[in-house]
Amino acid sequence: MKYNLIIVDDHKMFLDGLLSILNSKNEYNILLTAKNGTHIVKYLEINPNEKIDLIITDITMPEMDGITLNKIIKEKNNNIKTLVVSMHNDPDMIDNLIAHDVDGYVPKNAEKEEFLNAIKTIIGGDKYFSREIKDIYTENKFSKKRKEQINLTQREIDVITLIAQEYTTQEIAEELFLSKHTIESYRKNLIAKLNVRNLAGLTKYALKMKYIKS
């Protein structure tokens, strides 16, 4: 049985490499290659009854990226499997793709055997994510959960914001009409609560939470 594949990537060298790997396998038929997602969306609209088993796509491409393409494919026909092959390992990108039912994700520097294994697994009806991608996804979930569990009071936010703006203990005390001793207590508690090591850690947290603009 032959499986129909589409490949979307704007890097010719990578595209040629992938074609050469897949053309050596009798079970795969390359229906189409394209440089961006727009071409694929048009192709799907023109050929609604075409049997497409898998679309392999990069993330960063002109006109339409792989994240948008994956979302549109899944909305049009959830039976079409999607595999992302990309150098990007941004946690939010991975989150978005998984939320929109991507079937697999492998880095571009994966070995040939892993590509073929990912394709075979996905066509067989299972998901395939490389270890690196799984680790990033899991760590991001834990990190978000930890953040959700940390609730700062308004007073703690006031203190950490002023620390991040390089106010001294005395200046923070004057600004908030509190004693120096109270500010020092807040600082120690914040370091413990946020599990950071020092004032630089508090500043990083304040920036991340957008209490101050970088």
Are 16 and 105 within one domain? yes
Are 160 and 116 within one domain? no
Are 64 and 157 within one domain? no
Count of domains for the chain: 2
Q: Which two tokens stand for residue 104?
A: 């697999």
Are 126 and 31 within one domain? yes
Are 180 and 79 within one domain? no
Asked whether residue 214 carries a pLDDT value surpassing 60, the answer given is: no
Are 12 and 104 within one domain? yes
What would the pLDDT profile of 60-96 be if each residue is shown by its tens digit?
Answer: 999 999 999 999 999 999 999 999 999 888 888 999 9
Band of the pLDDT at 21, cuts 50, 70, 90? Answer: very high
Cα–Cα distance, 206 to 175 (Å, whole number)? 18
- The answer to whether residue 50 is domain-embedded is yes
Which domain CATH number covers 184? 1.10.10.10
- The answer to whether residue 214 is domain-embedded is no
Average pLDDT over residues 143-151: 73
Are 126 and 156 within one domain? no
Higher pLDDT: 103 or 196? It is 103
- The answer to whether residue 116 is domain-embedded is yes
Are 38 and 56 within one domain? yes
Are 75 and 164 within one domain? no
Are 162 and 97 within one domain? no
Domain of 190 in residue numbering reads as 150-208
Kindly report the pTM of this predicted structure.
0.70
Helix (H) or strand (E) holding 33: strand 28-34
Are 33 and 71 within one domain? yes
Which domain CATH number covers 105? 3.40.50.2300
Are 80 and 156 within one domain? no
Local structure of 7: helix, strand or coil: strand
- The 3-state secondary structure of 36-92 reads CHHHHHHHHHHCCCCCCCEEEECCCCCCCCHHHHHHHHHHHCCCCEEEEEECCCCHH
Band of the pLDDT at 148, cuts 50, 70, 90? Answer: low
